[in-house]
């Protein structure tokens, strides 16, 4: 039927397609894609927003890697945090998903409660955590003193404990969405697999490792990549509570970028920082994706819709 | 070359992702779980409830602690061992917190920018999603992969050019930088809309086309009403997301009168030493109130959003 109209119909459809696409195309040029390129160009300049950008070649990058201790410190802090966050977040939310993945009354209420922190304004939750973790009068240290009889750590005020404090805040805030994605994935695993396994006498643990985990691996990959990107974006807590302290122990990368760009107006240098971050995330994602051929299991595709 | 590789692999992730949820047998799975639950009611189920409840309590402890603190007298905040029940209850704290900063104004500002932003998200993502999910044109798949890969670009990596752009068009200290990007199709919403369009049978378009409808007519009259569930979900996510935004408002807004709720609440940090913790807790509770209400009313749509991204309808 379509064939009779031939190319004219197809041209019409193509024109309509591009028209419908136009908000995204404009957005790509000015808001998302284009700026990546502009950031790269700016990273080779010195630019304070007042006078015109001055080309300085690779100087920003050279300074960053050879002279800038804060750059290395912020990188270290962010890396430490990422390494702590990813396994903890993924394992805990997977465990929670297993826990809640049953048709029992009340399970959806639990899911709602676990999800709740993620929809709250981060500034408000940051203040709440500051009060929860208050070394002298917070509820946490009160528990510790009551249970163990010793004074708890200084949390946000301690160079040693500030990263664990941030980890706690982030895990509390992002476990819900991660868990719900796992749950959705689990509900898509065909029941026949479990039936067959039970016929063969496989235990629950064995079923988990032989069916659930492999079938869920694409979802794990998705959550891993999304959390990885998110872990580079810690900002609110540093900005409001610690200002990177104590002793630069919570000097997160994005905080450093923000300071360069919007308090010192070193736009060129900040752009170089942004590009380094972009490359690091890209590299990490590539490593994860490359390795995924080993640990991610895909069913053979018959009904791939395109 | 390297970048291209990532894009392709990324798209693989997304393409395959939906298949997970689209499998059948959910009903039977439910039946099975019911059956098993009844069998192991005593040990297993009790254990599940116990563990789930303990975790649930741990999750809301910070919020209960906030509520408790928000109703205490200042000197009651600083006791050991801690007291959970305020004595007396100081409801006045909420009034004082409300008057410490121009809360009403900040709430209105946030509502204004969140509603206009969400509207833009809906219009743009449903238009672009229609193109990607429904229409055939050269380069569609490549463009879609490009679109998906920009989901992975963190906002902080591109905020400098955006800032310069908005400075050039003289819109610093306005809501334009906060709203305009929403009207230009946020890639993640585009992805969700496309997934949803693809669940609608093509016959709808075909018969409309035979009746002489143009593409815009098909979109507006036939498909838009059918995508309502997806639109509601995206709208809610967008409003709640805007309510949380912090980095963009502090970068773009200078005058206090224009602050959003997050930035305005941040003012308390400057008052750290002069304003008591109980007022800060009351202020935090006020700021949390609107999204919590939305969340409880629209819970179902939050979960639907997740299912949408995994390909269930």
Reported as a single tens digit per residue, the pLDDT across A209-262 is 888 888 888 889 889 988 998 898 889 889 988 888 788 999 999 999 999 999
Give the start-to-end residue ranges of the domains of chain A.
68-295
- Write down the CATH superfamily of domain A68-295: MetI-like (1.10.3720.10)
Asked if B203 contacts B145 with a C-beta cutoff of 8 angstroms, the reply is: no
Residues of B in contact with A100 (CB under 8 A): 52
Residues of B in contact with A301 (CB under 8 A): 16, 19
- Comparing alpha-carbon positions, the chain B residue that sits nearest to A266 is B160
- Comparing alpha-carbon positions, the chain B residue that sits nearest to A243 is B269
Tokens of B77: 């905040």
Question: B225 vs A13, A218, B126, B168, B229, CA distance in Å?
Answer: 21, 32, 11, 39, 9
Check residues B101 and A303 and name the one with the higher pLDDT: B101
Do A42 and B10 count as a contact with CB atoms less than 8 A apart? no
pLDDT at A267 > cutoff 70:
yes
- Comparing alpha-carbon positions, the chain B residue that sits nearest to A224 is B13
Do A289 and B10 count as a contact with CB atoms less than 8 A apart? yes
Asked if B221 contacts A19 with a C-beta cutoff of 8 angstroms, the reply is: no
Residue range A271-285: average pLDDT? 92
Q: Which domains does chain B show, CATH number per domain?
A: 2-91 (no CATH), 100-309 (1.10.3720.10)
The C-alpha angle B244, B249, B251, rounded to 5 degrees, equals 135
Do A194 and B262 count as a contact with CB atoms less than 8 A apart? no
Asked if B199 contacts B21 with a C-beta cutoff of 8 angstroms, the reply is: no
Check residues A233 and A3 and name the one with the higher pLDDT: A233
CA distance A228 to B238: 22
Asked if B230 contacts B193 with a C-beta cutoff of 8 angstroms, the reply is: yes
CA distance B47 to B37: 12
Interface test with A, best of B55, B156, B297 (most A CBs within 10 A): B156
Q: Tell me which DSSP letter residue A67 carries.
A: T
**Cα–Cα nearest to B81, from A47, A149, A207, A182:** A149
Q: Give the B window 98-117 contacts with A, CB below 8 Å.
A: none
Q: Which phi-psi region, left, alpha or beta, contains residue A251 (left: φ > 0; alpha: ψ -120 to 50)?
A: beta
Tokens of A187: 């509900």
Count of A-B CB contacts under 8 Å: 350
| Confidence label for A110 from pLDDT (cuts 50, 70 and 90) | confident
Asked if B245 contacts B186 with a C-beta cutoff of 8 angstroms, the reply is: no
Query: Nearest CA to CA, how far is B271 from chain A (Å)?
Result: 11
pLDDT of residue B16: 32
Tokens of B265: 């609440």
Check residues A91 and B221 and name the one with the higher pLDDT: A91
Residues of A in contact with B130 (CB under 8 A): 20
pTM of the complete model: 0.84
pLDDT of residue B26: 47
Q: Where are the beta strands (DSSP E) in chain A?
A: 45-46, 54-55
Residues of A in contact with B185 (CB under 8 A): 23-24, 27
CA distance A247 to A245: 5
Q: What is the mean pLDDT of each run of 10 residues along chain B (313 residues)?
A: 36 32 43 49 79 89 90 79 81 87 91 94 94 90 91 87 92 93 92 88 84 87 88 90 91 91 85 73 92 86 68 44
pLDDT at A302 > cutoff 60:
no
Question: B52 vs A100, A205, B55, B59, CA distance in Å?
Answer: 8, 19, 5, 10
For chain B, the maximum distance between any two Cα atoms, rounded to a whole number of angstroms, is: 77
pLDDT of residue B22: 37
Query: Nearest CA to CA, how far is B129 from chain A (Å)?
Result: 8
Query: Nearest CA to CA, how far is B104 from chain A (Å)?
Result: 16
Q: Tell me which DSSP letter residue A51 carries.
A: S
Do B37 and A289 count as a contact with CB atoms less than 8 A apart? no
Asked if B45 contacts B37 with a C-beta cutoff of 8 angstroms, the reply is: yes
CA atoms within 13 A on the CB side of A113: 20
Interface test with A, best of B49, B62, B251 (most A CBs within 10 A): B62
Residues of A in contact with B25 (CB under 8 A): 190-192
Is some CB atom of chain A closer than 8 A to the CB atom of B152? Answer: yes
| Minimum-distance CB partner of B184 among A24, A102, A183 | A24
CA distance A180 to A167: 20
pLDDT of residue A28: 94
Tell me the DSSP string of chain B.
-HHHHHHHHHHHHHHHHHHHHH-S-HHHHHHHHHHHHHHTIIIIIHHHHHHHHHHHHHHHHHHHHHHHHHTS-HHHHS-SS--SS-SS--THHHHHHHHHTTHHHHHHHHHHHHHHHHHHHHHHHHHHHHHHHH---TTHHHHHHHHHHGGGS-HHHHHHHHHHHHHHTT-TTSSHHHHHHHHT--HHHHHHHHHHHTTS-THHHHHHHHTT--HHHIIIIIIHHHTHHHHHHHHHHHHHHHHH--HHHHHH--SGGG--HHHHHHHHHHTTTTS-HHHHHHHHHHHHHHHHHHHHHHHHHHHHHHHHHTT--
- Comparing alpha-carbon positions, the chain B residue that sits nearest to A92 is B55
Mean pLDDT of chain A: 88
**Cα–Cα nearest to B185, from A25, A33, A226:** A25
Contacts of A22 (CB under 8 A, 6+ apart): none
Do B291 and A103 count as a contact with CB atoms less than 8 A apart? no
């Amino acid at each position: 039927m379509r064939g009779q109209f031939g190319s004219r119909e197809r041209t019409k459809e193509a024109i309509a397609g591009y028209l419908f696409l136009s908000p995204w195309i404009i957005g790509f040029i000015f808001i998302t894609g284009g700026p990546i390129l502009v950031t790269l160009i700016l990273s080779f300049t010195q630019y304070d927003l007042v006078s015109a950008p001055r080309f300085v070649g690779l100087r920003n990058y050279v300074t960053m890697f050879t002279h800038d201790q804060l750059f290395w410190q912020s990188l270290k802090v962010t890396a430490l945090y990422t390494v702590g966050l990813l396994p903890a977040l993924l394992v805990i939310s997977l465990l929670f998903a297993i826990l809640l993945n049953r048709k029992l009354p009340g399970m959806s209420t639990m899911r709602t409660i676990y999800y709740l922190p993620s929809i709250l304004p981060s500034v408000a939750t940051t203040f709440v955590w500051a009060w929860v973790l208050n070394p002298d009068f917070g509820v946490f240290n009160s528990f510790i003193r009551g249970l163990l009889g010793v004074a708890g750590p200084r949390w946000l005020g301690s160079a040693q404990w500030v990263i664990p404090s941030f980890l706690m805040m982030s895990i509390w805030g992002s476990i819900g969405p991660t868990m719900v994605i796992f749950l959705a994935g689990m509900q898509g695993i065909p029941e026949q697999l479990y039936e067959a396994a039970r016929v063969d006498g496989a235990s629950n643990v064995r079923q988990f490792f032989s069916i659930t985990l492999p079938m869920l691996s694409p979802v794990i990959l998705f959550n891993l990549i999304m959390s990885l990107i998110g872990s580079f974006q810690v900002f609110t807590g540093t900005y409001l509570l610690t200002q990177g302290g104590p002793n630069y122990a919570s000097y997160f990368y994005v905080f450093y970028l923000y300071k360069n760009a919007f308090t010192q107006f070193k736009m060129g240098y900040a752009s170089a920082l942004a590009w380094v971050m972009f490359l690091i995330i890209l590299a990490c994602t590539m490593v994860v994706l490359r390795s995924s051929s080993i640990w991610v299991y895909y069913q053979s595709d018959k009904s791939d819709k395109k | 070359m390297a970048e291209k590789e990532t894009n392709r692999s990324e798209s693989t992730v997304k393409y395959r992702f939906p298949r997970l949820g689209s499998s059948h047998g959910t009903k039977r799975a439910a039946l099975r779980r019911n059956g098993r639950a009844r069998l192991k009611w005593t040990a297993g189920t009790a254990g599940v409830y116990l563990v789930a409840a303990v975790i649930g309590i741990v999750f809301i402890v910070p919020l209960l602690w906030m509520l408790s603190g928000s109703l205490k007298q200042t000197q009651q905040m600083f006791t050991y061992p801690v007291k959970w029940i305020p004595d007396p209850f100081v409801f006045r704290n909420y009034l004082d917190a409300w008057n410490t900063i121009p809360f009403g104004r900040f709430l209105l500002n946030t509502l204004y920018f969140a509603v206009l932003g969400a509207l833009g998200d809906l219009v743009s993502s449903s238009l672009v999603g229609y193109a990607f999910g429904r229409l055939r044109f050269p380069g569609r798949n490549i463009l879609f992969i490009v679109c998906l890969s920009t989901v992975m670009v963190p906002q902080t990596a591109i905020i400098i050019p955006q800032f310069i752009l908005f400075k050039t068009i003289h819109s610093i200290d306005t809501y334009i930088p906060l709203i305009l990007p929403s009207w230009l199709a946020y890639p993640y919403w585009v992805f969700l809309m496309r997934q949803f369009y693809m669940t609608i049978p093509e016959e709808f378009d075909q018969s409309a086309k035979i009746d002489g409808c143009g593409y815009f007519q098909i979109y507006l009259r036939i498909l838009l009403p059918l995508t309502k569930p997806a639109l509601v979900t995206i709208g809610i996510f967008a409003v709640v997301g805007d309510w949380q935004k912090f980095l963009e408002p502090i970068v773009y807004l200078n005058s206090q009168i224009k602050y959003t709720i997050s930035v305005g609440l941040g003012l308390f940090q400057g008052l750290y030493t002069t304003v008591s913790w109980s007022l800060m807790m009351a202020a935090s509770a006020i700021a949390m109130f609107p999204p919590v209400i939305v969340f409880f009313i629209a819970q179902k749509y939050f979960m639907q959003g997740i299912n949408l991204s995994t390909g269930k309808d």
